[in-house]
Amino acid sequence: MELSAFFKSVIDADDMPVVICDTNHTVIYMNPSAVERYKKRGGTSLVGRSLLECHNDKSNIMIKKVVECFEKSAENNRIFTFHNEKENKDVYMIALRDDNGKLIGYYEKHECRNTETSPRYNMD
């Protein structure tokens, strides 16, 4: 089986939204959680469109600055962008690189700060 099927499965299983973009800011993939979260903005119809169309001018400037930072060094791979107080989560931009360390894109990563409430190993 091709490894990419495993990677897609990992991304699709994530409860948090994952929006993957290329270096031109084109949305190339959204996991099911992202499709649901951004349903009012178009859901899957956002794939193939510019991420910059979905943000205001101030956000677009910051997105471009983060990508420039990623391009400066292969050491620059994770940038904290904001804390969502309402949902108690942090949001990051993460660099995506090829095997040679060249920047090929980025994605938005959400990390929830809430403690898990379901029972451990609940398999009922």
Domain positions in the chain: 16-112
The residues with which 97 forms a beta bridge, in sequence order, are: 103
Q: Are 56 and 73 in contact (CB under 8 A)?
A: no
Give the model's pLDDT for residue 3: 73
Residue 42 DSSP class: T
Pick from 21, 22, 53, 24: nearest CA to 34:
21
CATH fourth-level superfamily of 16-112:
PAS domain (3.30.450.20)
pLDDT (tens digit per residue) in 20-74? 999 999 999 999 999 999 999 999 999 999 999 989 999 999 999 999 999 999 9
Residue 37 DSSP class: H
